[in-house]
Every structure is written in C-alpha cells, then in structure tokens.
Structure 1
Amino acid sequence: MPDHIEVILRSIISFSLLLVGARILGKQTIAQMTMFDFVAAISLGAISGNLAFNTSVKVHHIIIAFTIYVAILFLIAIISLKNRKGRKLLAGDPTIVIQNGKVLEQNMKKMRYTLDYLNQQLREKDVFNIDEVLFAMVETNGTLTVQKKPEFRNVTRQDLMIAVTPEQRLPIELIMDGDIIKENLKQNNLTLSWLESELEKRHLTTHDVVYAVLAVNGNMYVDTYKDNIKSPIDKE
C-alpha cells in the first residue's frame, strides 16, 4: 500500500477513535477539564497522533493501547463518581484566594497563581475593583468563582418584592437553518398550522425564515434570510 494512502486511512481511524473515546468518557472531559482530564486528553491525543503518522508502529498495537487507556480512564471516572476521596485525589479541591475580602497570598503561592492573573480573572467576571469581592476561589478546572460583598451584588426581583411569573420550560427552537424542527413542535403540543399562522401575522412564510424560537414569555423571535440591511457592519 502506498505510504500516502496508508497515512490517510490511519488518520481516519485515529480521528474516529478519538470521537469514540470522547463519547465514552463523556462531556465533562471537555467542559470541566481538571488536571487529571488534561493529562488524559494529552495522552489520548499522543496515541492517536502516532496512529495517524507513525507508520512504523502497527495499527492494531496502537488501537489496543488506545482501548486500554480509555478503559482505565472510564474506570477511574466511575470510581471518582462513587468515591469522594478518589475524586479529591484525582481532581483536587478548590482553593480560596480571597477570604472575607482579604487576599490569601500563601494559597496563591502554592498554586503559583499571580495577582496579575487574579485581576484578569476578576475582570472576566466583570469585577474591576477587588474591594468588591468577599470570597473568591479557584475551582478544580482553573476557573475563578466570585462572591461579591452584599453591597455590590445585583438587586433581584425578590429583593424588591416584585411578583415573578414562574418559568417551567426552556425557549423552544421551531426553525433552525430554514428547517422546521417537527420534533420540538410535537413535544410542546404545537402544530405546523399554528407556526404558519404565527408567521403569517408577520407577513412571512416558513420558506422566508432561517431561525425561529419561541421564548418562555410566549414571544417569538424570527430571523429571515433577507435582513434588509443595506450596509452590514461585518461585510468584508
């Protein structure tokens, strides 16, 4: 088999293995990556990379190694799920960096966490004045969680004793990329004729719409193919 054909086939197998591995290990590996998840992702990537271009290594040997690695990671994930001590050993604990408005320099020093980085993460939380912070902790996935002092917190409807209409569902996507999502209509007891009548009120048909979503308050957001904007800002 020519080398370039072999590399192409091995790359397809490698990519497929990564997808399968990611599905088995679950979304947490991506969305909430801890130090353990980071090491696991690098290792799986290295194995898959060797499968793609290292033609001196037999394909079935790498597939065996990849399978064993995924199995070990899956087993460890199960143990972490059922055992709190195991979870703490693998993922670690959150580290408090601000307590009662005071910066804990020793905790930051243990993590090699600088004041510059602390201020950067605070700004990402829309906190530009560190004096507003009551507590702040670095979570196991590296993100910063912030609790502001009471006088700097946003006022809620509950604080103002304003009546709130209960919300018992998420917004419903009705049309996506020009295609009607019939499953969403069916699950929410909505009909195609109802959708068409709602669009007709806006002098539209389903063929005019690229995206439509029904909000929790009953209002429908509709975006059409024709935006009627003469000079789009992002036009290149």
Structure 2
Amino acid sequence: MKTFDLQRMALDNVPMEFLAEVALRSLYTFVLVYLFLKLTGRRGVRQMSLFEVLIILTLGSAAGDVAFYDDVPMLPVLVVFITLALLYRLVMWLMAHSERLEDLLEGKPMVIVEDGELAWSKLQSANMTEFEFFMELRLSGVEQLGQIRLAILETSGQISVYFFADRDVRPGLSILPKHCTPRFKTAPESTDYACVRCSEVITMKAGEQQLCPRCANPEWSKASRAKRVT
C-alpha cells in the first residue's frame, strides 16, 4: 500500500458519485436523530440521564455507519431507531412505576454542600473534582461556601444551589481560583480559617498550626465572609 496516496485517502475505491449518496444518507440519519430527540423532549446533553446518553451514543453509532459505508443498508437502521425509541418509552414507563429501577438507571440527586460545609467524600464518589464543582458554583455567582444553604448535584450533572439570606451567611471556604486565595500551614493572624480540602471552619490564633479535625489536612485559607452580589 502506498502511503500518503491522496486518491486512497480521499475516496479509496468508491466512485465520485457516492458522495451524493453520502449526503442523502447523512440527511436520512439526521432526520432520524432529530425525530428521536423530539420524541424524548430533551434540549441538551446536560439535561440527559446516563441511560439517555447511552441511547444517543448507540444511535450515533448506527447513524455513522449508514452515513458513510456503502454496504450498510438504510432500512435496518430505521428498525434500530424504532426499537430504541420503543425501548426508551418502555423504560420511562417502568421507571415511573418503580423507584428502585429509576434509582438504578438515573441515579439519585446528591447533597454536596449543606449549611455551608462541603461533603467532600460524596463529591469524590460522584467522580467530580473540587475544581469542576467550584467552577460550576462560581458560574452561579458563589464566592464562598458559607453563602450556600444547600447545593444538590442532580442526576443530569447540573447543580441546584439554595442560598442563605445575607443576614445568615456564614464564614466559609473561598472557592475563588487558587492564586486568589493564599494558603497557610501556620496561621498568620488570629481569625477563622477554612480547611482547603473539606471546608471545615475553625478559629486559630496567630502562629498556630493545626490538622483539620474533620479530614486531618494541614493546609488552611482565611475563611471568607463575603455575601452574595445579586
């Protein structure tokens, strides 16, 4: 085989006329995927559960094959789409009648922040890093965890945030980027400090060193008292 053969790379052994057939096949699969998304009533991947993303990936595989390979007939792909659409409807009906099945396929919402404190062990079990989680909170206008009464990681991957009233905001861990929040192992002054790992807030005196009583982490940042800017 000749390397960097432009004819082979561009068309291989198919005739130029096959490009028009590829365009027709692509239009066909586009219409099928569009109809499926209309059927599910979803507007974006972030609104989809793991089960729904799995179905879309399966559809994408079938759509890609029929769009590009001349030896893949179009009618069986239509059967694939109809089968998956019926499967989706059946599973949605079963989940509506079985909470256990719904939890198995969709997962459960998970409380990640409660009363200004991070449930860092839950965050790890959700396969989400603190960096990702804090970025999502910043996009919701959060500066420090003490502003949050409750933050819930939904099954779609989105985060629902419920805030304290300004008068109830607590000292908490700043979630600004690392270069904006100096970290200390020795307290430079007497004030409240937040554990940079689990967000536990304690009062330390100047020159004091402590391990976090919650996670044994030795690193701290000054607890922020910032209120929400709305």
TM-score by length of 2: 0.60
Match of 2:101 in 1: 86
Match of 2:39 in 1: 24
Match of 1:187 in 2: none
Q: Distance in 2 between matches of 1:148 and 1:109?
A: 23
Distance 1:146 1:94, change over 3 A: same
Identify which range, 125-134 or 83-92, moves more after superposition. Answer: 83-92
Match of 1:133 in 2: 148
C-alpha contact (below 8 Å) 1:51/1:57 kept by paired residues: yes
C-alpha contact (below 8 Å) 2:117/2:145 kept by paired residues: no
User: Going by fraction, where is helix more abundant, 1 or 2?
Assistant: 1
1:116 has 2:131 as partner: yes
Distance 1:30 1:81, change over 3 A: farther
Q: Distance in 2 between matches of 1:29 and 1:75?
A: 21
Match of 1:151 in 2: 166
Q: Distance in 1 between matches of 2:133 and 2:46?
A: 21
1:56 has 2:77 as partner: no
Higher relative contact order (CA 8 A, sep 6+): 2
What 5-or-longer segments of structure 2 have no aligned partner? Answer: 1-14, 169-230
SS across alignment from 1:126: coil
Q: Distance in 1 between matches of 2:20 and 2:31?
A: 17
Q: Distance in 2 between matches of 1:109 and 1:30?
A: 22
Alpha-carbon offset, residue 79 of structure 1? 1.9
SS across alignment from 2:157: coil
Match of 1:35 in 2: 50
Distance 1:107 1:5, change over 3 A: same
Matched AA of 2:150:
F
Q: Distance in 2 between matches of 1:49 and 1:117?
A: 31
Aligned sequence identity (%)? 22
